[in-house]
Structure 1
């Protein structure tokens, strides 16, 4: 494994943020078992005979919220930094030019992440239910401790990039500087324009896209704008070309990122499938019954299965048939993921329409938990399509952002998909509340009623399918407007060159 040039020269570098993040999450997990082990950390149990329950005290609520807050912060920072930190370990030439190596890294990263979800939904849930919540929370603490030890043991072998100043501040500086220099005139043909560059930067001139931002890095008077060491005297009036290109890279991906938010809306519909599964026959054989809440695991399993098939079967077979290495670009995989997401919600609407009609015929209109003679295996196609869609789009998004952004923005690139999932969850709640208000009338159940037999979740999912179809069309437009990704211009020129 190669080390970064700055590391080889012995320059001081900052320890990877992942080390501190794992400690943060481990600290949050470590406090949760205390709530279950220490009696004073939780309210006393309810008296069953009188159905009397005492509310939690202020300290107990604070302790619980503090623990959950630390867990959330640790989990969020680990998810955003571990992906970027792992990509930093790739060799520079692989990072820049070998798209297949990048694709394989992101695919197997997602596969291992999904595999950890399977373990959490099976083994850890089994421990919590059958062996107690104290041990159930203690097991993740031990796992996080083991992971932290492994990370520290590998610290001498990691590539640790030299830290820069605040990236977010630099992006705001470009906006302010471009506004303050808005009166400057730009000409792509003028060779007299002097641009402020970082020392050792390979970028000589800013790109022609979003040209109004180029005003932020134009040196008007070198004696006034630059200090003797070549730095800007006022970074809020003069920025570097690298700063301008970083902001351009972020703004360019926003339209494509928004199409991933709609996919997040479809994925975040997690409560209805549980209600749906509870009304269907979930038996395997005569004795074993799959819990309704466990059907989500098929989404995770199908995602892992797709990665294995794609990497070990589909690409090798396609390469053998065509006689040359086959590689699907990040934009192609993201688009195909959106297509599968559209098909998944369409299948949900069709299956729910059939399930609801059977429930009504069986006389379960007023019984939302009445089991109907319909196998829960009908839920597998929609779960598999959702898993395939999430795997394709999520891996494609991560690889797209990491590849398109400058290497200094890898942490932001890794955070975009998580941020999109959060925005998608908020929009899903807003959409559900809006449809509930619009479809609920006097003496009439809304489409998303708690009684799924009286509601019309099939119509609700048809609305989601409509949004997904429009989103697919928007993605096609945004993808073409974005132009070729990094490295695609060279591939096209090589194919055209005889």
Structure 2
């Protein structure tokens, strides 16, 4: 909205720019994690991310203030010089680089504070599992704030105030982070040459190249726990399952929002809920569910199973995947009713008129998807952190993030493929006019895909051998 609004960019170039930036954001966590685990260390990587955040947000604030200060006729759209637009893109890609360092390394650094290798505290496994819950609890509050209060500031006080508020929040965040600098347990990065050799050795084993004998010697020189034996092959089925799961849950930010935009969004007298604001239901579900899960469900389940986290990470992930299947089924049923109401009201060819059906009809699918994410997303990050060697745990979290990113891309390709395949036989399932589309059929397709994914995931998870003895 900033590109097409204050900067006056056409929709197509703006969308292309945003898609390219989003793809970069999904790739850079692997780069940041590799840099942290091989050279920088996780603490210094988080610190570097904080500095990059301040620099990029400061640049965006300054650019927005300069743009707002330039007078332009009210009858014509705003114009932006190539130099100013280049400055904006440099700031945005610095922001992407900051996220690439921060996303995997901050979470890994926090989990490192509950290290299991020192053997001194038997409660460390349970504490670390709890940490992942509360980490996402905090993120959910931040996301809810950004989609409500920050959106309000940007709409009413301007983009400069919004970017400035983000910069001020980052200053406070970095100051709080530095308060604990003397007390953090910081894992030392692996020697760069050894790190590269180890990664090359894993790749050689995976692709079964002819020099596997020398590769085995390299792996045998490492401690048994950290040699990474078969790590790629073991994690690949789980990674693929996470990608399919992400392709399903991606609908929250696209088609769910489009579906909600066609409903009667009036609440009370005069208040109209923006379609994107419905995504807050996912964050609020996180906020409500994670404390209950951590403080009520886990202790009760622990008494039954004897497992430090109540259930294993794969069991938690599987439950979340099953919940995403249920969410898509509910979404399909609600969409079927919406189409019937639109037909009965004579609105099939009037997509600009709200269907006489309350927006709260779509609330259950958002809540179910939020519950799915509270189970699976947190479980996946804990799983990938635990099941890689200690020295490359930032990379493990980056692998999890890459699965989510690949799922987003897969979702886009699936939408395009279904649109192309169904357009030839009449109205597309994903037509611009949702009253003539069949979004319910597409939701049922996703529900079936999610169910198949759960079945395949269960097959592989039952045969998975955990790396950590504490989870056997």
Q: Report TM bin, short chain.
A: 0.7 to 0.9
Of 70, 80, 84 in structure 2, the residue corresponding to residue 56 of structure 1 is 80
1:416/1:142 CA distance change after superposition, 3 Å: same
- Matched-pair contact (CA < 8 Å) for 1:274–1:293: yes
What is the aligned residue count?
Answer: 426
Q: CA deviation at 1:281?
A: 2.4
For 1:199, the equivalent position in structure 2 comes to none
1:316/1:239 CA distance change after superposition, 3 Å: closer
Alignment of 1:233-244 (within 5 A): 240=222
1:363/1:131 CA distance change after superposition, 3 Å: same
For 1:265, the equivalent position in structure 2 comes to 247
Matched, 1:439 2:422: yes
1:249/1:321 CA distance change after superposition, 3 Å: closer
For 1:114, the equivalent position in structure 2 comes to 140
Alignment of 1:59-70 (within 5 A): 59-70=83-94
Alignment of 1:404-419 (within 5 A): 404-419=387-402
Q: TM-score, normalised by structure 1?
A: 0.79
The superposition leaves residues 381-421 of structure 1 with CA deviations (integer Å, 9 ceiling, x where unpaired) of 10111001011001111111222222111101121221111
* 2-structure distance, mates of 1:169, 1:480: 32
1:122/1:238 CA distance change after superposition, 3 Å: same
The superposition leaves residues 134-156 of structure 1 with CA deviations (integer Å, 9 ceiling, x where unpaired) of 11110010111122222223211
* 2-structure distance, mates of 1:55, 1:447: 38
Mean CA deviation greater in 238-247 or 420-429: 238-247
* 2-structure distance, mates of 1:489, 1:323: 10
SS of corresponding position for 1:373:
strand
* 1-structure distance, mates of 2:325, 2:120: 34
Q: CA deviation at 1:298?
A: 0.2
* 2-structure distance, mates of 1:337, 1:176: 34
For 2:114, the equivalent position in structure 1 comes to 90
Alignment of 1:114-263 (within 5 A): 114-166=140-192, 167-176=195-204, 179-182=209-212, 216-218=215-217, 240=222, 245-246=227-228, 248-263=230-245
- Matched-pair contact (CA < 8 Å) for 2:126–2:309: no
For 1:222, the equivalent position in structure 2 comes to none
- Matched-pair contact (CA < 8 Å) for 1:436–1:447: yes
Of 309, 315, 325 in structure 1, the residue corresponding to residue 298 of structure 2 is 315
Q: CA deviation at 1:326?
A: 7.3
Q: TM-score, normalised by structure 2?
A: 0.83
* 2-structure distance, mates of 1:97, 1:217: 36
Unaligned runs of 5+ in 2: 1-39
For 2:433, the equivalent position in structure 1 comes to 451
- Matched-pair contact (CA < 8 Å) for 2:141–2:287: yes
* 2-structure distance, mates of 1:94, 1:381: 45
SS of corresponding position for 1:124:
helix
- Matched-pair contact (CA < 8 Å) for 1:16–1:160: no
Mean CA deviation greater in 408-417 or 348-357: 408-417
Q: CA deviation at 1:323?
A: 10
1:23/1:171 CA distance change after superposition, 3 Å: same
1:473/1:455 CA distance change after superposition, 3 Å: same
* More helix, by proportion: 2
* 1-structure distance, mates of 2:471, 2:171: 46
The superposition leaves residues 45-79 of structure 1 with CA deviations (integer Å, 9 ceiling, x where unpaired) of 4x444xx4465332122111111111111123211
Q: CA deviation at 1:131?
A: 1.3
Unaligned runs of 5+ in 1: 1-11, 185-214, 219-234, 491-498
